[in-house]
Amino acid sequence: MATATQVQVQPLISIEKLNLFYGSFHALKDVSLTIPEKAITAFIGPSGCGKSTLLRTLNRMNDMIPGTRIEGSIAIGGTELYSNEVDVETLRKKVGMVFQQPNPFPKSIYDNIAYGPRLHGIRGKQQLDELVETSLKSAVLWDEVKDHLKRSAFSLSGGQQQRLCIARALAVNPDILLMDEATSALDPISTLKIEELAQELKDRYTIVMVTHNMHQAARVSNQTVFFLNGEVVEYSDTEKLFSNPTDQRTEDYISGRFG
Partner 1 sequence: MNSIFQDANRQQIANRRRKDVIIHLVFIVATSIGVLALCALIIDILMDGLSRLQPDLFTNFPSRKAAGSGMKSAIVGSIYMLIIMLPVSFILGVGAAIYLEEYAGKNRFTRLIQLNISTLAGVPSIVYGILGLTLFVRLLAFERSLLAGAFTMTLLVLPIIIVSAQEAIRAVPKSRRDASFALGATKWQTVSRSVIPSSISGILTGVILAMSRAIGETAPLVMIGAMTYINFLPTSLKDSFTVMPIQIYNWISKPQLEFKELAASGIIVLLALLLIMNFSAILLRNKYQKKY
Partner 2 sequence: MQSDTPQANRKVLNTSTSITSPNAFKNNRVSVMNKMMPIILFLCASVSILTTIGIVITLFSETIQFFQKVPILEFIFGTKWSPLITPKSFGVLPLLNGTLMITLIACLVAIPLGLASAIYLSEYAPKKVRSAVKPVLEVLAGVPTIVYGYFALSFITPLIRDIFPGAGVFNALSAGIVVGIMIIPMVCSLSEDAMSSVPRALRDGAYALGATRLEVALKIVVPAAFSGIVASAVLAFSRAIGETMIVTVAAGATPTLTGNPLDSIQTMTAYIVQVSLGDTPHGTVEYGTIFAVGMTLFVITFLLNILAQYVARRFREEY
Q: Which residues of this chain interact with partner 2, rule CB under 8 A?
A: 12, 76-79, 81, 85-87, 89-91, 93-94, 117, 120-122, 127, 130-131, 133-135, 137-138, 140, 170-173, 175-176, 200, 204
**Which of these segments, 38-46, 105-113, 143-151, 205-213, binds partner 1 (CB under 8 A)?**
105-113
> Is there binding between residue 93 and partner 1 (CB under 8 A)?
yes
Q: Dihedrals φ, ψ of 29, to 5°?
A: -120, 110
Find the helix packing angle between 109-119 and 158-170, rounded to 10°. Answer: 20
What residue 186 binds from partner 1, partner 2, none (CB within 5 to 8 A, per partner kind)? Answer: none
- Give the integer Cα–Cα distance in Å for 120 and 254: 43
> Is there binding between residue 189 and partner 1 (CB under 8 A)?
no
Contact 22, 68 (CB under 8 A): yes
What residue 81 binds from partner 1, partner 2, none (CB within 5 to 8 A, per partner kind)? Answer: partner 2
What residue 149 binds from partner 1, partner 2, none (CB within 5 to 8 A, per partner kind)? Answer: none
**Closest by Cα among 162, 136, 199, 172 to 59:** 172
Per rule CB under 8 A, count of chain residues that contact partner 1: 27
Parallel, antiparallel, or unpaired: how do β-strands 206-210 and 40-44 relate? parallel
Long-range contacts of 99-105 (CB under 8 A, 24+ apart): 99/165, 99/180, 99/182, 100/180, 100/181, 100/182, 100/184, 100/185, 101/185, 102/158, 102/161, 102/162, 102/164, 102/165, 102/185, 103/165, 104/153, 104/154, 104/156, 104/161, 104/164, 104/165, 104/168, 105/153
What residue 96 binds from partner 2, partner 1, none (CB within 5 to 8 A, per partner kind)? Answer: partner 1
| Of positions 61, 149, 182, 254, contacts partner 1 by CB under 8 A | 61
| Closer residue to partner 2, CB minimum distance, 195 or 231 | 195
| Of positions 115, 142, 184, 199, contacts partner 1 by CB under 8 A | 115
| Of positions 101, 108, 199, 229, contacts partner 1 by CB under 8 A | 101
Alpha-carbon dihedral 191, 40, 32, 60, rounded to 10 degrees: -70
| Closer residue to partner 2, CB minimum distance, 63 or 130 | 130
From the CB of 94, what's the least distance to partner 2, in Å?
Answer: 6
Rule CB under 8 A: which residues touch partner 1?
A: 59, 61, 64, 66, 89-93, 96-97, 99, 101, 103-107, 115-116, 118-120, 165, 168-169, 172
